[in-house]
Structure 1
């Protein structure tokens, strides 16, 4: 395995991590998957100096956070709590550098840990064939929280990942309990559990999430999608009246490239739900129950 960096190097003209190549120490024992927390940092902070080159940053104190970022009023409608407890966590930032158009991204795929090292696996996405982009300079980034550690932190770039994913959820409106908003993202390399989702506000980039490494969930689940839903690609459709239903609703979102399909299904079986939709609704509900365990 190759490491893409360690420690502190220059991306902002100050100490941070660069994305070079080097061998990881193989004497540290076996690697085990580690969960991590994603944080929508840019809902509450802005980068003081956008890095022109790719790199990474490990922030260990509030003072360092404020030296790299400017705190500002919430830019997301319902952002997650921006507080970071640096007595318990480090903030890790990944930066793809300056890009000439939209359509680029960088993401943490998974984290593995052994006796002496933490290895953060990441991937970068460029615009896909046929994808519509705007000629706007962008600076893609991603932010996660990891427990404080004395271990060395390395970054390993992986390839052949896809940003396609599904989001499944169960909700009630109004929400009167801790368990009435349950939402998960399934992609090819992990499962995300979104935290403190606000009823009716289903733009998930504004929420913290817990990520657990689990490969192939996206491909496996998409085999269950009915042709009726695939046919409305890129649109939004509601079955029944889930927002006012006494039983609440079931949510499904399919992201394929830049195309997003959203489905809201009344948990009551309504006349507009075909047998295929009812079966798919149960599949979603069963999957949510399994993920909660």
Structure 2
């Protein structure tokens, strides 16, 4: 039987300094600082780093990569605890016929209870 886990969105946006598609599991402050700086490398001033208690929590992040128009989105919709692993359910959205022109880099950062289980990102 699978259990759903709670999570809190740290930040979700359409513009970041992260140009390539990627998934992240962050379990320490140094890696969190680095990911936050990369995410906001195009922002002035850079927003303050949100506090995460890495003794009890971890950060999960999904990045869609750079797209050449608006309407693209990525989000973590659910966390499902399975036998020996944690599934991160990821939803990607593509634009319809009407979309803005311009570069976008959608992302979603969450925090949830720390686990040592294998983490699988599922699309």
TM-score range, shorter chain: 0.7 to 0.9
- Runs of 4 or more consecutive aligned structure 1 residues displaced over 3 Å after TM superposition: none
Superposed CA deviations along residues 59-97 of structure 1, whole A, max 9, x for unmatched, are 1111111222227246xxxxxx92111111111110111
Superposed CA deviations along residues 3-57 of structure 1, whole A, max 9, x for unmatched, are xxxxxxxxxxxxxxxxxxxxxxxxxxx2222221111277xxx96x5132x2201
Establish whether residue 124 from structure 1 lines up as the match of residue 92 from structure 2.
Answer: yes
Per the alignment, in what secondary structure is the counterpart of residue 30 of structure 2?
helix
Q: Which has the bigger relative contact order, CA under 8 A and spacing at least 6?
A: 2
* Aligned twin of 2:27: 60
- Write the mapping of 1:17-56 to structure 2, written as runs, cut at 5 A: 30-40=1-11, 49-52=17-20, 54-56=21-23
Higher helix share: 1
Higher strand share: 2
Counterparts of 2:9 and 2:35, CA distance in 1: 19
Paired residues, number = 115
| Structure 2: runs of 5+ lacking an equivalent | 41-45
Superposed CA deviations along residues 119-139 of structure 1, whole A, max 9, x for unmatched, are 01111011123x3x2221111
Larger Rg: 1
Kept in 2: contact 1:116–1:151 (CA 8 A): yes
Counterparts of 2:79 and 2:7, CA distance in 1: 7
* Aligned twin of 1:96: 64
| Structure 1: runs of 5+ lacking an equivalent | 1-29, 75-80, 158-293
Counterparts of 1:34 and 1:91, CA distance in 2: 14
Taking structure 1 as the reference length, the TM-score comes to 0.36
Counterparts of 2:112 and 2:86, CA distance in 1: 10
Taking structure 2 as the reference length, the TM-score comes to 0.81
Per the alignment, in what secondary structure is the counterpart of residue 39 of structure 1?
strand
- Write the mapping of 1:112-191 to structure 2, written as runs, cut at 5 A: 112-129=80-97, 131=98, 133-157=99-123
Counterparts of 2:12 and 2:28, CA distance in 1: 15
Kept in 2: contact 1:41–1:82 (CA 8 A): no
